[in-house]
Structure 1
Amino acid sequence: MKQNYLLALLSAFILWLGWPPIPYSSLLLLVGFVPLLVAVENIIRGDYSKKGTKIFWTSFLTGFVWNTASIYWVFNSLNAVLPSWVSLLISLIPFGLAPLLMATVFRLYYELRKKQTIIISFLGLISLWIGYEYLHQTWDLAFPWMTLGNGFANFHQIIQWYSFTGVYGGTLWIWVVNILAFLFYWQYKQKVQAYSQKLILSLGIGLIVFPILISVVQYTTYEEPINPSEVVVVQPNIDPYQKFGSISPSEQLENLISLSKSVAKPNTEFFVWPETAISERGGINEEDFRQYPSYERIVNFLGDFRNGNVLSGIESYAIYQDKRTLTARPFGAGYVDSFNGSTLIDGSSILQYYHKSKLVPGVEQLPFGNFLAFMTPLFEHFGGTTGGYGKDTEPKVLYAQSGIGAAPTICYESIWGDYVAEYVQKGAQFIAVMTNDGWWKNTSGKDQHMAYAKIRAIENRRWVARSANTGISGFINQKGDIVQHTDWWVPAALTQEINLNDETTFYTKNGDIIVYFGLFGSLLSFLLLIISKYKK
Structure 2
Amino acid sequence: MELLPARTPFALRLLLAVASGGIYALAYPPVGWRWLVLPGVLGLLIALQGQRGSKALAIGFLHGLAVFAVGLSWLYELFAVWAFFLWVVLAVFPSMFAHFQGLASQRGVKGWHFAAFTAANWGSWEYIRSELFWLKFPWLSVGSAIGPNGWLPWIGVYGVGALVVFGTALISLRHWKGGGASFALVLGACLVVSRHAEPRDDDPATVKLGGIQGEEGTLQDLLAATRTLLPEGLHYVVWPEYAVPYDIRANVKEWNLVQQLCRDRDITLTFGTQRHEAGGEVWRNIALTVDPSGARGEHNKVHPVHFFNDGVAGTTALPIETRHGKVGTPVCFDCDYEGVVRHMTAAGAEMFVVPVMDAKRWTARQHDQHAELMRIRACENGRWMFVCTTSGVSQVIDPSGMVHGRLGAMVEGVLTGSMRRESGLTFYTRLGWLTPWLVLGTAIASWILLLWPKRRDKAEEGVPA
Residues 39 and 530 (structure 1), Cα distance of their counterparts in 2 relative to 1, 3 Å cut? closer
Displacement after TM superposition at 1:73 (Å): 0.8
2:214 is aligned with what amino acid?
P
Q: Is the 8 A contact 1:166 1:459 kept in 2?
A: yes
Question: TM-score, with normalisation over the residues of structure 1?
Answer: 0.77
Q: Which moved more, 1:463-472 or 1:391-400?
A: 391-400
CA contact (8 A) 2:259 2:291 kept: yes
Report whether the alignment pairs 1:302 with 2:262: yes
Q: 1:356 to 1:207 in 2, by over 3 A?
A: same
SS in 2 for 1:501: coil
Which of the numbers 162, 166, 170 marks the counterpart of 2:152?
Answer: 162
Where 1:28 maps in the other structure, the secondary structure is helix
CA distance in 1, matches of 2:117, 2:198: 39
Partner of 1:29: 37
Judge conservation of contact 2:360–2:391 (CA < 8 Å) in 1.
Answer: no
- d(CA) in 2 for partners of 1:221 and 1:442? 31
* 8 A Cα contact 2:159 2:436, kept in partner: no
From 507, 510, 516, give the equivalent of 2:428.
Answer: 507
2:299 alignment counterpart: 354
Structure 2 residue runs without a partner (length 5+): 1-9, 458-465
Matched, 1:210 2:219: no
TM-score, normalization by structure 2:
0.89
Identical counterparts, % of pairs: 20
Question: What letter matches 1:346 in structure 2?
Answer: D
CA gap 1:211/1:220 in 2 versus in 1, 3 angstroms: farther
Aligned: 1:521 with 2:442: yes
> Higher relative contact order at CA 8 Å, sep ≥6: structure 1 or structure 2?
1
Q: Which amino acid aligns with 2:276?
A: Y
Give the whole-Å Cα distance in 1 for the aligned partners of 2:251 and 2:308: 30
Kindly report which structure 2 residues correspond to 1:22-61, keeping only aligned pairs within 5 A, or say none.
22-23=31-32, 25-41=33-49, 43-44=50-51, 51-61=52-62
1:314 partner amino acid: T
Q: Aligned-pair distance for 1:19?
A: 2.3
User: 1:233 maps to what in 2?
Assistant: 211
- CA distance in 2: counterparts of 1:473 and 1:392, whole angstroms: 24
Q: Counterpart in 1 of 2:88?
A: 96
Aligned to 2:463: none
> Aligned residue for 2:418?
497
Q: Counterpart in 2 of 1:246?
A: none
Q: Contact 2:153 / 2:426 at 8 angstroms: preserved in 1?
A: yes
Of residues 233, 237, 257 in structure 1, which corresponds to 2:223? 257
Match of 2:316 in 1: 394
Paired residue secondary structure (2:40): coil
- 2:162 alignment partner, SS class: helix
Q: Is the 8 A contact 1:34 1:178 kept in 2?
A: yes
Cα distance in 1 between the residues matched to 2:133 and 2:370: 21
- Counterparts of 1:213-292 in structure 2, within 5 Å, are 213-219=188-194, 227-238=205-216, 252-279=218-245, 283-284=246-247, 289=249, 292=252
Q: Distance in 2 between matches of 1:100 and 1:170?
A: 22
Give deviations 1:250-281, integer Å, cap 9, x for gaps: x61111122222324553221111011123xx
C-alpha deviations, 1:71-105, integer Å up to 9, x for none? 11111123xxxxxxxx312x124312121121012
Between Structure 1 and Structure 2, how many residues are aligned?
Answer: 443
Q: For residue 458 of structure 1, give the secondary structure of its aligned residue in structure 2.
A: helix
8 Å CA contact 2:26, 2:36 repeated in 1: yes
Runs (4+) off by over 6 Å: 220-225
State the distance in 1 between where 2:250 and 2:325 align.
Answer: 23
The gaps in structure 1 that reach 5 residues or longer are: 45-50, 79-86, 185-199, 239-250, 320-330, 365-383
Distance 1:212 1:220, change over 3 A: farther
- Check conservation: 2:364, 2:410, Cα contact below 8 A: no
- Residue 449 of structure 1: how far off its partner (Å): 0.8
* Residue 139 of structure 1 pairs with residue 144 of structure 2: no
Aligned counterpart in structure 2 of residue 110 of structure 1, from 72, 90, 102: 102
Of residues 14, 17, 37, the one that matches 1:8 is: 17
Q: Does the residue aligned with 1:442 lie in a helix, a strand or coil?
A: helix
In 2, are the aligned partners of 1:409 and 1:433 still within 8 Å (CA)? Answer: yes
5 Å-filtered alignment, 1:317-328, equals 317-319=276-278
Contact 1:395–1:423, Cα closer than 8 Å, also in 2? yes
